[in-house]
Chain A
């Protein structure tokens, strides 16, 4: 982190007003994308958040078209991104539910679906 970049950002901050820093982890984007339809069942779901996550208190589960959980094991977390491998090959609607704790100790949760074409 360079001092000039801090000073530049500070000046921008004071001149332009609100910059809206994220004090909680919100879902930024997902792969497969939220509400998307994909041609083949993915090998994993990855969720990218607006803030670093605490692995000990962050979970994700994926429910397949038959109503069974298809996620395998504990999610892997790299900073802001959470991945979970899937054992999925069926077409249909998959539901992803997540609950995460951000490093500033606030919990957020959410859910979304994606479809696999027949």
Chain B
């Protein structure tokens, strides 16, 4: 049951981050870059938007399905039942209607509905209305950020708890902006490599620089909020080194460092070499590697959430 719970968490984190990152990338990076180059109505821009739309719809569908699976797997774990027994009316219903987690899930289901309306009004294929874009951006951020209330931070009492929650919300949003933006960035590289349009190449340059700025902001936020979270849950150095929680946390940090190193190479060397085809190829390759590392980090985070934090070593646990 723990494995199903961790898997549902992983898919949910990945899909909500993908949706938020894609929305931010389209509305804050790609569309302004298209407008700067005055190619918003071009074939290339239209082709790009038509590739983003399925990512958003599939991502949202996966988020809803994995959210429901998360609820059922958690109910099964709490009630010591298998998911089919937990599903109809029993523990899952009580969990949904009588607990903080359940109320959060009802709110998030409402947010997912609003996001669906925003996507429909925002029409990612056509750049859509400003209202639709705004609604999509805000609801996608709320859908991801609200996950902080489902984790360890939700239980920390007092001012320390408030700091933990704020740090977790910012950590999730920064991770979503960076990780979620990698796939749309990679699609933009692929499009530029396929269409040898010089205007599209200059758009790519603008978009890469803008994403680079967003990436810097995200890394800074992830570092500070990650330190706060670590001081809350990691415990002492020995517990960090001797517990499963600590080992996974160290692995997560190592993968994060590798991602930052790749992002550094992209920003300091390859972005400057744009629009050369070789630089686009290498940026595209690095972006895909970063995405793979990011997904591995999400898998680790999903497992960390179901483990007892290292700070609890020695305390009584079920």
Query: Real complex partners, A and B?
Result: yes
Are A57 and B316 in contact, CB atoms less than 8 angstroms apart? no
A105 with B163: in contact, given A14-B227, A20-B232, A54-B98 (CB under 8 Å)?
A: no
Are B78 and A57 in contact, CB atoms less than 8 angstroms apart? yes
CB distance from A103 to the nearest CB of B (A): 5
Interface residues on B, range: 35 or more
CB contacts (< 8 Å) of A25 on chain B: these are 155
Contact with B along A1-26 (1 / 0, CB 8 A): 10001100110011001111111111
CB distance from A100 to the nearest CB of B (A): 10
Are A13 and B228 in contact, CB atoms less than 8 angstroms apart? yes
CB distance from B76 to the nearest CB of A (A): 12
Please provide the chain A residues from 10 to 62 with a CB less than 8 Å away from any CB of chain B in the complex: 10, 13-14, 17-27, 50-52, 54-57
- Selected contact of A51 from candidates B77, B155, B163, CB within 8 Å: B155
- Selected contact of A19 from candidates B78, B98, B160, CB within 8 Å: B160
Q: Which residue of B lies closest to A56 (CB)?
A: B98
Interface: B242 (CB within 8 A): no
Interface: B157 (CB within 8 A): yes
Are A13 and B317 in contact, CB atoms less than 8 angstroms apart? no
> CA–CA, A1 to B164, complex, Å?
14
- Selected contact of B232 from candidates A5, A21, A55, A110, CB within 8 Å: A21
> CA–CA, A1 to B98, complex, Å?
26
Please provide the chain B residues from 216 to 261 with a CB less than 8 Å away from any CB of chain A in the complex: 227-228, 231-236
Are A21 and B100 in contact, CB atoms less than 8 angstroms apart? no
Are A13 and B160 in contact, CB atoms less than 8 angstroms apart? yes
A20 with B154: in contact, given A14-B231, A108-B317 (CB under 8 Å)?
A: no
CB distance from B117 to the nearest CB of A (A): 29
Interface residues on A, range: 35 or more
Are A104 and B157 in contact, CB atoms less than 8 angstroms apart? no
Are A108 and B152 in contact, CB atoms less than 8 angstroms apart? no
Are B316 and A21 in contact, CB atoms less than 8 angstroms apart? no
Interface: A95 (CB within 8 A): no
A20 with B235: in contact, given A13-B228, A103-B100 (CB under 8 Å)?
A: yes
CB contacts (< 8 Å) of A107 on chain B: these are 77-78, 318
Are A23 and B234 in contact, CB atoms less than 8 angstroms apart? no
CB contacts (< 8 Å) of B289 on chain A: these are none
8 A-B contacts (beta carbon < 8 Å) = A10-B163, A18-B234, A22-B155, A23-B155, A54-B101, A103-B154, A105-B78, A108-B317
6 A-B pairs with the lowest CB-CB distances in the bound complex, closest first: A23-B152, A104-B155, A21-B156, A56-B98, A21-B232, A51-B155
